Amino acid sequence: MNAQVQITDAQVRELSYAEAIREAMAIALESDPAVVLMGEDIGTYGGAFQVTGDLIDRFGPDRVMDTPISELGGAGVAVGAALTGLKPIFEFQFSDFAALAMEQIVNQAAKLRYMLGGEAEVPVVFRMPSGSGTGAAAQHSQSFEAWFGHVPGLKVVQPSTPAEAKGLLLAALADPDPVVIFEHKLLYKMKGPVPAGHYTTPIGKAAVVRKGEHVTIVASAIMVHRALEAAAKLAAEGIEAEVIDLRTVRPLDRETIIASVKKTGKLLCAYEGVRTLGVGAEISALVAESEAFDYLDAPIQRLGGAEAPIPYNPDLERAAVPQTPDIERVARQLAKGEV
Amino acid sequence: MMRDNQENTPFALRQFTPAQLREALRKMYLIRLFEEGAEESYMRGLIHGTMHLSIGQEASAVATCMELTDADKITSTHRGHGHCIAKGADVGRMFAEFFGKETGYCHGRGGSMHIADVKTGNLGANGIVGGGLPIAVGAALTAKRLGRDEVTVCFFGDGANNEGAFHEALNMAAIWKLPVIFVCENNKYGMSTSAAYATAVKNIADRAVAYSMPGVTVDGNDFSAVAEALHDAIARARAGEGPSLVENLTYRWRGHSKSDRNRYRTKDEIEEWMSRDPIARFRTELIAHGILDEAEAEAVEAEAKAAVAEGIEFARQSPSPAITDVTKFVHAEEAA
């Protein structure tokens, strides 16, 4: 159980990440008539990853709306609906397909409040099944969080546990501005404790999920679990890694990252998006520009996705993104002063 | 629809009161004079950036909005000044926006291409061709879901009808039977590329067939023809019968934007269309049918002229935003 989750109901159950997201959507649909779900095959089919599941049976096709295969138009309908009083949760079947809808997300949703001088708001939530590891190759496996993180007006989150997935979705819904949620596909079946009822996990706050003093590992989404596995192995060697679950890509939680680096003097960023110009570059820069710079005992290290599309061959696919042994190796080198 | 014995009286003159018709003429003058005022201010360096003037398209904007209330929504285009005025915006706050002032509709953050007036239902001009099409469908979805008696009019140009967003938006509006009216202002050119070259169908309204909705092409410089087409489309939308596509054939007298050298069209063509001035035509019609006399028409024009002069003065005297507020309005918490 993550300490930063604000529990308002003592009841905690084991739910999968997908079930936790579904529960958040059910709570939202029950409590607010303005909430609608939109997306491709989210109705009777239950969503490509069975996240919406049976919600159509409970809330009907007017609240759980199948859209045609029209990502640009569908996202735009969600933007227009949000602009006029609905609170749409729009599911992209794969985050890769958001490339078809960049216009509406980047030029419209992100900028409308600003372009209209604060006279309008777009409380839309875009859900994006993301990441590699499913054998779906180059067009169904990407990690676009840095793309969206580059756009003022958007908030971008990456839950790593079922409890976070529910809490961040409910926080996104409560937010009057557009929020993009990257849900890692390999986590959908992962189980974890999830509080019942309504609670929010704050956007813009990272979580220290393992305390340590020798090296800081800032990780996001599935990399959090790989970092924790690596940290457990390193602990057997007497190396205590501090693992930060980033949770939010935009806005970044500067304070948590800087405080940790000041303590450990070593920073490793582990993320699945392409390494160059990725989330790790921004984290590295913010540390280098901050008072934590003087505390650094070693060069900052980044582990990110390869400079290649995600390949089909399973061995190549694994090699294209950081794995637990990679994190373990680099964190060990950092801790031992070998970098 | 009323089809009484006044067969020679244009639809609009039967449908609207003399006061409404007078107001329509005033708004058409207001648009023309606003555009001329904006153009002059630009030449004098008071407005920077660029702008897309709608001189010649005034009947399309005003007649389209005749039966809309403030609760009804519009989405507009990069050539959107006329739509904004037609929907009820104040020209002083519009000029202030163009001058980049804090008193502008967008507090100086949007300018010409993002002019909006949410309170009168104008969800905004758009710098992206076709950008407003799905947004309009979303606004209509809100009305349907929340049971509001509202329609949305989506203005777009001939250029937008070749964007994917057009096709996706019309399809979704049709399958969900949403209260939206797609109004294509076909002014013959998307920047320099003619609709005749760029579009596979003869009339853009022909594309309505593909989305199972009525499509009609009208003379966009004929106030009454536009008002009648919109009357039918709005009635259909309010009755829950779904969307319509109306194509207003019109012409922009000025170039696409301030960089246009008019190399893609002839002087003869421009002059021919200028002789079909929608304002002169409407004014003549109102006088011929005894709605106004010459002196009253002059007074309407003078009223619009005074409003434009007053608006420019308001804009000039208004304060600019504070430089330190560059990130204000990015998110809600910074808007307070």
Between the alpha carbon of residue A45 and those of residues A29, A53, A139, A164, B85, the distances in Å are: 19, 7, 22, 25, 46
> What distance in Å separates the CA atoms of residue B334 and residue B88, rounded to the nearest whole number?
29
pLDDT at B6: 64
Of A33, A84, A88, which is closest to B139 when you measure between CB atoms? Answer: A84
As a whole number, mean pLDDT of residues A113-130 equals: 97
**One-letter amino acid for residue B208 of the chain:** A
Q: Would you call A19 a catalytic residue per the annotation?
A: no
Do the bridges between strand A191-195 and strand A241-245 make them parallel or antiparallel, or are there none, so unpaired?
A: unpaired
Q: Does A106 touch chain B (CB under 8 A)?
A: no
Contacts of B234 (CB under 8 A, 6+ apart): B67, B68, B151, B181
Q: What is the mean pLDDT of chain B?
A: 95
pLDDT at B146: 97
The percentage of chain B sitting over the pLDDT mark of 90, rounded to a whole number, equals: 94
Contact A74 B105 (CB under 8 A): no
pLDDT > 50? residue A90 = yes
Tally of domains within chain B:
1
Confidence bin at A3 (pLDDT 50/70/90): very low
pLDDT > 70? residue A215 = yes
Q: Does B335 touch chain A (CB under 8 A)?
A: yes
A299, exposed or middle or buried, with CB in 10 Å at 0-12, 13-18, 19+? exposed
CATH topology of domain A207-335: Rossmann fold (3.40.50)
> What distance in Å separates the CA atoms of residue B126 and residue B209, rounded to the nearest whole number?
27
pLDDT at B66: 98
CATH number at residue B95: 3.40.50.970
Residue B190 lies in a domain: yes
3-state SS, residue A128:
strand
pLDDT at B335: 41
Confidence bin at A7 (pLDDT 50/70/90): low
pLDDT > 70? residue A178 = yes
The percentage of chain A sitting over the pLDDT mark of 90, rounded to a whole number, equals: 97
Find, among A329, A323, A337, the residue nearest to A214 by Cα: A337
For residue range B34-78, what is the model confidence (pLDDT) as tens digits?
999 999 999 999 999 989 999 999 999 999 999 999 999 999 999
Predicted ipTM of the assembly:
0.95
Best residue in B122, B330, B334 for a mutation probing chain A (most A CBs within 10 Å): B330
Distance of CA B207 to the CA centre of its chain: 21
Whether residue B245 contacts residue B207, with contact meaning beta carbons closer than 8 Å, is answered with yes
pLDDT > 80? residue B147 = yes
**Chain B CB contacts of A177 below 8 Å:** 331-332
Contact A73 B169 (CB under 8 A): yes
As a whole number, mean pLDDT of residues B113-138 equals: 97
* In chain B, residues 121-140 whose CB comes closer than 8 Å to chain A: 123-124, 126-128, 131, 133-140
Strands (DSSP E) along chain A, which ranges?
12-16, 35-39, 64-66, 87-91, 125-130, 155-157, 179-184, 191-195, 207-210, 215-219, 241-245, 248-250, 267-274, 301-305
Which among A23, A71, A91, A272 is annotated as catalytic?
A71
**pTM, rounded to two decimals:** 0.95
Of A74, A85, A116, which is closest to B146 when you measure between CB atoms? Answer: A85
Residue B146 lies in a domain: yes
Question: Which residue reads 């244009």 in tokens?
Answer: B10
Residue span of the structural domain in which B132 resides = 16-319
Do the bridges between strand A179-184 and strand A155-157 make them parallel or antiparallel, or are there none, so unpaired?
A: parallel
Torsion of Cα atoms, B105 then A90 then A271 then A299, to 10°: 10
As a whole number, mean pLDDT of residues A134-144 equals: 97
Find, among A169, A288, A164, A285, the residue nearest to A220 by Cα: A164
Best residue in B99, B178, B329 for a mutation probing chain A (most A CBs within 10 Å): B329
Residue B331 lies in a domain: no
**Chain B CB contacts of A76 below 8 Å:** 131, 133-135, 137-138, 165, 168-169
Assigned token pair, A301 = 């290290």
pLDDT at A10: 65
For residue range B220-254, what is the model confidence (pLDDT) as tens digits?
999 999 999 999 999 999 999 999 999 999 999 99
pLDDT > 90? residue B3 = no
Domain spans, chain A: 14-195, 207-335
Confidence bin at A6 (pLDDT 50/70/90): low
Distance of CA B201 to the CA centre of its chain: 24
Comparing B8 with A88, the larger pLDDT belongs to A88
Q: Would you call A119 a catalytic residue per the annotation?
A: no
**Chain B CB contacts of A83 below 8 Å:** 123, 135, 138-139
As a whole number, mean pLDDT of residues B263-285 equals: 97
pLDDT > 60? residue B1 = no
The CATH class, in words, for A14-195 is alpha beta
pLDDT at A2: 46
Residue B266 lies in a domain: yes
pLDDT > 50? residue B2 = no
Q: Does A277 touch chain B (CB under 8 A)?
A: no
